[in-house]
């Protein structure tokens, strides 16, 4: 049997008595595109925080490629291959887009290289390649502040790719993006993931996006996984319809 890329085993977390993870078990295979859905406050973001080391569980383990990462620092986990893109893009808005990308490349390579003229050229080339992966090469010189939300989301994804991750965690990639732009953003994301051979997990509230793009959907409820399977089956489950989709 092949080792899953990510494995969560019996994760437990409580905040002031509220169980944000109440025995989470989940495996993600290499190459999967997995959606996490669930009501507000059910523990989806907490799970991403556990995988990236931002919070530590009271009990349980997270394994990357069979090796425990649960108690490692977030930057160590990032270096081992887990990157993250946020619901609110994490950009330096007073900087040009290309500068944001060059900083991300420099952070991976070792920041001091960025100040040597020769290395600056390599950083710039890699930054442009990352921008072209998500179709943003034409706005590279623009200030990040001037970009619409959909393009900022793509820029944040390009920054996550700068880490050369094996697993990308995305918190609501389509939130704040107009209905018209949503599918375009997802198409670009899917192409970039395939091209870079990156496995991904995304938290999503838009069921049309989940149905159209996810290979598998995992449903969270009160800090637990309540359903797990193919979108066309899970999204028809009456319990899921009632608890998550809001249709009785």
Ligand X SMILES: Nc1ncnc2c1ncn2[C@@H]1O[C@H](COP(=O)(O)OP(=O)(O)OP(=O)(O)O)[C@@H](O)[C@H]1O
Which positions touch ligand X (CB under 6 A)? 15, 18, 20, 38, 40-46
CA 167 to CA 160: how far, in whole Å?
A: 10
Q: Which residues contact 120 (CB under 8 A, 6 or more apart)?
A: 102, 114
First to last CA, the chain: 39
Q: Which residue has the tokens 């080792």?
A: 3
Of the two residues 38 and 60, which places its CB atom closer to ligand X in the complex? Answer: 38
In the complex, the smallest distance separating the C-beta of residue 15 from ligand X, rounded to whole angstroms, is 3
CB of 13 to ligand X, least distance (A): 8
Both tokens of residue 84?
A: 């993250």
H-assigned helices in 199-241? 207-213, 231-234, 238-240
| CB-based contacts of 188, cutoff 8 Å, min separation 6 | 134, 135, 154
Closer Cβ to ligand X, 38 or 231, answer by number: 38
Cβ at position 45, least distance to ligand X in Å: 3
Least gap, CB of 46 to ligand X (angstroms): 3
Total residues belonging to the chain: 248
Task: Please state the closest distance from residue 22 (CB atom) to ligand X, in A.
Answer: 10
Side-chain half-sphere CA neighbours of 104 within 13 A = 32
Give the separation between CA 133 and CA 188, rounded to whole angstroms. 8
Q: Report the residue number, 12 or 95, with the smaller CB distance to ligand X.
A: 12
- Closer Cβ to ligand X, 41 or 68, answer by number: 41
Q: Which CB atom, from 20 or from 193, has the smaller least distance to ligand X?
A: 20
């Amino acid at each position: 049997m092949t080792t899953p890329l990510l494995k969560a085993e019996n994760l437990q977390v409580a905040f002031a008595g509220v169980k944000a993870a109440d025995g989470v078990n989940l495996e993600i295979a290499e190459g999967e595109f997995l959606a996490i859905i669930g009501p507000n406050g059910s523990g989806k973001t907490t799970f991403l925080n556990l995988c990236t080391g931002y919070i530590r569980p009271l009990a349980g383990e997270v394994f990357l490629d069979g090796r425990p990462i649960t108690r490692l620092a977030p930057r160590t986990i990032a270096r081992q291959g887990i990157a993250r893109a946020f619901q609110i893009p994490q950009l330096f808005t007073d900087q040009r887009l290309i500068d944001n990308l060059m900083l991300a490349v420099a952070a991976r390579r070792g920041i001091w290289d960025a100040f040597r003229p020769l290395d600056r050229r390599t950083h710039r080339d890699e930054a442009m390649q990352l921008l072209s992966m998500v179709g943003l090469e034409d706005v590279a010189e623009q200030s990040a502040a001037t970009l619409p939300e959909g393009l900022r989301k793509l820029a944040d994804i390009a920054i996550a790719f700068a880490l050369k991750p094996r697993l990308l965690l995305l918190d609501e990639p389509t939130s704040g993006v107009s209905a018209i732009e949503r599918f375009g953003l997802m198409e670009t994301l899917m192409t970039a993931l395939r091209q870079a051979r990156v496995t991904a997990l995304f938290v999503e509230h838009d069921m049309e996006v989940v149905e159209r793009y996810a290979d598998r959907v995992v449903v969270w409820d009160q800090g637990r996984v309540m359903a797990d399977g193919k979108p066309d089956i899970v999204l028809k489950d009456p319990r899921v319809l009632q608890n998550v989709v809001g249709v009785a």
